[in-house]
Structure 1
Amino acid sequence: MPDDKTALVISAHSADFVWRGGGAIALHRAMGYAVTVVCLSYGERGESAKLWKQDGMTLEKVKTARRTEAENAAAELGVTDIRFFDVGDYPLDLGPDTRDRMVDVIREVQPRWMMTHSKWDPYNTDHMNTMRFTLDCRMVAQAWGHNPGQKVLGAPQLYLFEPHQTEQMGWTPDVFLDITEVWDRKWAAIQCMQGQEHLWSYYRNVAENRANHLRRNSGGQAGGRAAKYAEGFQTVFPRTVDALE
């Protein structure tokens, strides 16, 4: 992978990257970025109710169905590198072995930017634990004394994508990304997630609302960008800039 155009998205469950960061993924793929998506679990126990309501369903059948959905969605977004850790969900197993696997991926990819869940999510602790896990892995990947000889990580920005029930999560966006030109690809990816069809229209509405915020913050009635769909993100680290705009 080229060192200067890579990105890494760490998703607690197999659908999270689609709802929350699918537009950013598709847009950066169109820019020539190599985007790696890691799904820590398939969401097989806690986020697959529709499948479990079917007669004769088993854990392995649910995993297979959710993996297929995620692979199809990734393909719609242009992603060719999607990895499944399969560490279980509700709760995720984020112990030392999983951490070391993730650090190896981070050092391999050398992402320019990373993306994961919000800091707080009392409705789904898998999400907020993934954020802390990602911070830990980013830190370890920067440590010269961890697996000496591997290329250490620089200082990629970590973007936190929008959680469900945003107002309850203490999540405040400071970046709005116009995804209008790739919305069709995100919408196609969303529709791949058959196990959670009840969320399709919700996340379309989120994208429309964030576009309203993008228009307002890019100039409003004085000439804002004519975005129809957008995604919001919260940054973790300061930015280093050469000028203020």
Structure 2
Amino acid sequence: MTNNPKGTITVVSAHSADFVWRAGGAIALYHDLGYQVRVLCLSYGERGESARLWKQGRTLDEIKAIRRFEAEQAAEILGAQVRFFDAGDYPLETTKELQDEIVQEFREHRPEFILTHSLTDPYNADHPRTTEFVLECRILAQAHGYPSDFPVIGAPPVFLYEPHQPEQCNFQVDVLLNITPVFERKRKAMECMAAQEHLWAYYTDVAKRRGVQAGRNSGGSIQYGEAYQRVYPYVGEVLV
């Protein structure tokens, strides 16, 4: 189990770059607050998200190695620990063996909350498949009868990060996170993902737009933001 006094935040990414575009700001913020941040990359995105490398004539093994290296560089900049599962993509295969690995990961590291993909994505079946998989693993990690050397977890909130085309994915913004203090690190992490250079400017623009919206909804001055949707209700003593 983690020895970090602040606890652990877990990010589950279908492909090796997803965590950077969609949750890089949250990762950097929570690292700076003293949390252990663990990024779980189920695949490298080698088949469906590496077109530039395929056009260069790279082999499958070369592409996996490049995507892994890019993700490791990005994670280091953001302050995250990254674990790779090499489950394949297009399609992503969520096997029983992979399921057990993720359940044991949740039980051992006991995340304060979990970040993952949207529930719907008509453009990428790997993303909602990952989300359904994560929610089931969370349920199993809560089950007293599930075999494990680690105790059951509580009820960590799950936040869905913004998909590439939110309007088509039924994405509802419940949380706008101010990432202005760490955006430059997020941008540097994005620039590690050379196989998808075309997304650098796109996700910079997304962060600017969400920053404007965050400012309007808070009365403050916010330059960059990230959007999240809650899966489970907020529970507390006061309304916030």
Q: Percent of aligned positions with the same letter in both sequences?
A: 52
Check 1:3–1:236 CA distance in 2 against 1; reply closer, same or farther (3 A cut). Answer: farther
**Which AA in structure 2 matches 1:230?**
G
2:26 aligned with 1:5: no
Residue in 1 aligned with 2:162?
162
Q: Deviations over 1:85-104 (max 9, x none)?
A: 00100011102111011101
Give the SS at the match of 1:112. strand
Could you list the structure 1 runs, at least 4 aligned residues long, displaced by more than 6 angstroms after superposition. Answer: none
* Number of corresponding residues: 238
Instruction: Tell me if the contact between 2:6 and 2:36 (Cα under 8 Å) persists in the aligned partners.
Output: no
Instruction: Tell me if the contact between 1:3 and 1:110 (Cα under 8 Å) persists in the aligned partners.
Output: no
TM-score w.r.t. length of structure 2: 0.97
Residue in 1 aligned with 2:190?
190
Q: Report deviation, 1:243.
A: 1.2
Instruction: Tell me if the contact between 2:104 and 2:148 (Cα under 8 Å) persists in the aligned partners.
Output: no
Q: Report deviation, 1:5.
A: 2.0
Instruction: Tell me if the contact between 2:10 and 2:113 (Cα under 8 Å) persists in the aligned partners.
Output: yes
Residue in 2 aligned with 1:236?
231
Residue in 1 aligned with 2:106?
106
Please give the residue correspondences for 1:47-58 in structure 2 after superposition, counting only pairs within 5 Å.
Answer: 47-55=49-57, 57-58=58-59
2:206 aligned with 1:206: yes
Residue in 1 aligned with 2:72?
71
Q: Report deviation, 1:225.
A: 1.5
Q: Report deviation, 1:108.
A: 1.0
Q: Report deviation, 1:105.
A: 0.6
**Which AA in structure 2 matches 1:14?**
S
Q: Report deviation, 1:4.
A: 4.4
TM-score w.r.t. length of structure 1: 0.95
Residue in 1 aligned with 2:173?
173
Residue in 2 aligned with 1:15?
17
Give the SS at the match of 1:7. strand
Q: Report deviation, 1:19.
A: 0.2
Residue in 2 aligned with 1:29?
31
Q: Report deviation, 1:242.
A: 1.2
